[in-house]
Amino acid sequence: MLGSNTIGNLNPHVSVDCVVFGFEFGRLNVLLIERNMNYKGKKFNDLKLPGDLVLKDEDLDTAASRVLRELTGLDNIYLKQFAAIGSPKRLKRLVRDMEWLRSIGHPEEIVVTIAYYSLINIDQDKAGNFVLQPNSRWYKVSEVKDLAFDHISILQQALLVLRADLKSKPIAFELLPQKFTLGQLQQLYEVILGVKLDKRNFRKKVANMPYIIPINEKQVDVSHKPAQYFSFHRKIYEKSNTASF
Amino acid sequence: MLGSNTIGNLNPHVSVDCVVFGFEFGRLNVLLIERNMNYKGKKFNDLKLPGDLVLKDEDLDTAASRVLRELTGLDNIYLKQFAAIGSPKRLKRLVRDMEWLRSIGHPEEIVVTIAYYSLINIDQDKAGNFVLQPNSRWYKVSEVKDLAFDHISILQQALLVLRADLKSKPIAFELLPQKFTLGQLQQLYEVILGVKLDKRNFRKKVANMPYIIPINEKQVDVSHKPAQYFSFHRKIYEKSNTASF
């Protein structure tokens, strides 16, 4: 991005890259930036992750937050650092990537990048506050086939971390409304894990989760049989974490 | 360390630091290096984590493995990357740290470090293979109060990650012998978590772990009442991971 910063303030050896997942019911998205360049005399477009070099007086987390703020206008997005990637060849996969680096005045070919991921519910009202930069938008994760540099590998790593976190941390309940149906919970798992789950098996497993509790309320104004609402009890979750002593 | 590498082959902006935990029954250790320097006209010693700058043609994981190989002679130590730390002031906390950097010809004051941790059972036979460099040895974690640069903070972060991993991953069973007593399991948790646990509560929790299975064998040749042996069943563990679908 380089934005308004002059190269003199930047550490040309370390960057941050951000994988911002946008969850909607029905699909999992990722925020990507269109890169426009001239390549072999023709206009060429491809996609990249949001990222930037780190400023010389800047912490890594601060750099990642800055990238997201410049891109979305949002200041309070939670970003989790999940990997540092420093293969010496990571920027040299494609000739057009190296040409592009030269075209933006990037002085170095070795950049260690610190990768962050974030998960936002873009169904919720908050989505209205997003003012995305004109060259960036949400893409369906399952349809992203290639990206600039090694960014497709960074996206794949982020997806593995997100799926592991879904299984080991209560992030599902941060994306769901306070009262939810088991159908919604199953759909959330399906969207993030990228698989279809068997309804009977899923409900059997949920029955073994003492922290998912039915509440005395059902759906109203639905054309099908109204479903029971459930809620997540964090205190019971924390107590039931079996391996903790 | 800088070792046999000339500064020309090094990326002076990125380092790796390794927190190597050495588990024994009774105590948790960490591998530290003694740093000898002249400071204000006197000899001065303190301790640091093993680490080095990354070579220009080297992957981060390779750099971390190299540091450990040079230090211990071991080539197959599992290292887990757990953080990238890039506060611009991280090397400038103490005047003596900056003087030391100059004394070893380090050209930069901003170094992003990629932190790795490892956990080794130093009670087991393998320990005999360790040939530690003369300036390095095991220190009891609870007795380490300060380290060079920001290394005490890196050690504290590693300890938090290790404790979280102990609760969410089956690493306890990689440290235990194939058959173990519940007393050994409890002691392992106590050593790593750094707390005393109530025996009755501990056994109640273990009873809820279907993957810890009593085997038809008891201790022999012990002066106290022989304890039952247990073993860990990985397949049952993987199935019983409650939040996984």
DSSP string over A144-205: ----STTHHHHHHHHHHHHHHHHHHSTTHHHHS-SSB-HHHHHHHHHHHHTS---HHHHHHH
Q: Which of A168, A201, A225 delimits the end of a domain? A: A168
Shared domain for B103 and B15, answered yes or no, is yes
Contacts of B243 in chain A (CB under 8 A): 167-168, 209
Q: Which of A168, A187, A215 delimits the end of a domain? A: A168
Q: Is A195 domain-assigned?
A: yes
Predicted confidence at residue A107, as pLDDT, reads 63
Q: Which two tokens stand for residue A144?
A: 């992203």
Q: Is residue B224 exposed (0-12), middle (13-18) or buried (19+ Cβ within 10 Å)?
A: exposed
Shared domain for B40 and B88, answered yes or no, is yes
Under the banding of pLDDT at 50, 70 and 90, the label for residue B39 is confident
**pLDDT tens, residue by residue, A97-108:** 888 888 887 766
Shared domain for A17 and A133, answered yes or no, is yes
Under the banding of pLDDT at 50, 70 and 90, the label for residue B240 is confident
| B242 closest CB neighbour out of A81, A201, A209 | A209
Q: Is B173 domain-assigned?
A: no
* Average pLDDT of span A131-141: 87
Question: Is B85 close to A209, i.e. CB distance below 8 A?
Answer: no
How far apart are the C-alpha atoms of B18 and B117, rounded to whole Å? 6
| A245 closest CB neighbour out of B197, B241, B244 | B197
How far apart are the C-alpha atoms of B48 and B137, rounded to whole Å? 11
**pLDDT tens, residue by residue, A168-190:** 888 999 889 999 999 999 999 99
Under the banding of pLDDT at 50, 70 and 90, the label for residue B19 is very high
Shared domain for A187 and A159, answered yes or no, is no
pLDDT above 90 for A109: no
Q: Is A71 domain-assigned?
A: yes
Backbone dihedral angles phi then psi of residue B230, each to the nearest 5 degrees: -125, 160
Under the banding of pLDDT at 50, 70 and 90, the label for residue B3 is very low
Identify whether the C-beta of residue B146 lies closer than 8 Å to the C-beta of residue B46.
Answer: yes
**Closest approach of chain B CAs to the CA of A44, in angstroms?**
30
The CATH number of the domain holding residue A190 is 1.10.10.10
Q: Are strands A42-48 and A112-121 parallel, antiparallel or unpaired?
A: unpaired
Shared domain for A102 and A66, answered yes or no, is yes
How far apart are the C-alpha atoms of A49 and A33, rounded to whole Å? 6
Predicted confidence at residue A6, as pLDDT, reads 52
Shared domain for A36 and A120, answered yes or no, is yes
Q: Is B232 domain-assigned?
A: yes
pLDDT above 70 for B134: yes
Contacts of A243 in chain B (CB under 8 A): 167-168, 209
User: Which 3 state secondary structure label does DSSP give B13?
Assistant: strand
Counting Cα atoms < 13 Å in the Cβ hemisphere of A162 gives 31
Q: Which domain holds residue B160?
A: 7-168
- CA proximity to A82, closest of A120, A121, A52, A114: A114
Question: Is A240 close to B242, i.e. CB distance below 8 A?
Answer: yes
Shared domain for B194 and B80, answered yes or no, is no
ipTM attached to this prediction: 0.81
User: Which 3 state secondary structure label does DSSP give A55?
Assistant: strand
Predicted confidence at residue A20, as pLDDT, reads 95
Q: Is B39 domain-assigned?
A: yes
- In this structure, which amino acid lies at residue A214? P
Predicted confidence at residue A150, as pLDDT, reads 94
Identify whether the C-beta of residue B44 lies closer than 8 Å to the C-beta of residue B37.
Answer: yes
Q: What percent of chain B has pLDDT over 90?
A: 53
Predicted confidence at residue B221, as pLDDT, reads 85
**Closest approach of chain B CAs to the CA of A4, in angstroms?**
20
* Average pLDDT of span A69-76: 85
User: How many domains in chain A?
Assistant: 2
Contacts of B13 in chain A (CB under 8 A): 11, 13-14, 112
Scan for tokens 């056994």, then name that residue: B203
B92 or B34, greater pLDDT:
B34
Q: Is A2 domain-assigned?
A: no
Shared domain for A176 and A236, answered yes or no, is yes
Residue B114: closest C-alpha in chain A: A84
Beta-strand runs (E) in A86-156: 112-121, 136-140
Backbone dihedral angles phi then psi of residue A227, each to the nearest 5 degrees: -90, 150
Beta-strand runs (E) in chain B: 10-24, 27-39, 42-48, 51-55, 80-85, 112-121, 136-140, 212-218, 228-232
| Residue B199: its H or E element | helix B199-207
How far apart are the C-alpha atoms of A164 and A207, rounded to whole Å? 21
A110 or A27, greater pLDDT:
A27
Contacts of A208 in chain B (CB under 8 A): 242
User: Which 3 state secondary structure label does DSSP give A121?
Assistant: strand
Q: Which of A168, A189, A221 delimits the end of a domain? A: A168
Shared domain for A93 and A147, answered yes or no, is yes
* Average pLDDT of span B94-110: 78
**Total beta-carbon pairs less than 8 A apart between chain A and chain B:** 89
| A11 closest CB neighbour out of B13, B83, B85 | B13
- Full-model pTM: 0.86
**Closest approach of chain B CAs to the CA of A245, in angstroms?**
7
Q: Is A147 domain-assigned?
A: yes
Q: Is residue A114 exposed (0-12), middle (13-18) or buried (19+ Cβ within 10 Å)?
A: buried
Question: Is B245 close to A85, i.e. CB distance below 8 A?
Answer: no
Cβ-based neighbour number of residue B185 at 10 Å: 22
Contacts of B58 in chain A (CB under 8 A): 88
How far apart are the C-alpha atoms of A219 and A181, rounded to whole Å? 8
Shared domain for A83 and A186, answered yes or no, is no
Shared domain for A39 and A159, answered yes or no, is yes
Shared domain for B95 and B186, answered yes or no, is no
Q: Are strands A10-24 and B42-48 parallel, antiparallel or unpaired?
A: unpaired
Q: Is A52 domain-assigned?
A: yes
| Angle subtended at Cα A121 by Cα A120 and Cα A125, rounded to the nearest 5 degrees | 120
The CATH number of the domain holding residue A158 is 3.90.79.10
* Average pLDDT of span B189-208: 93
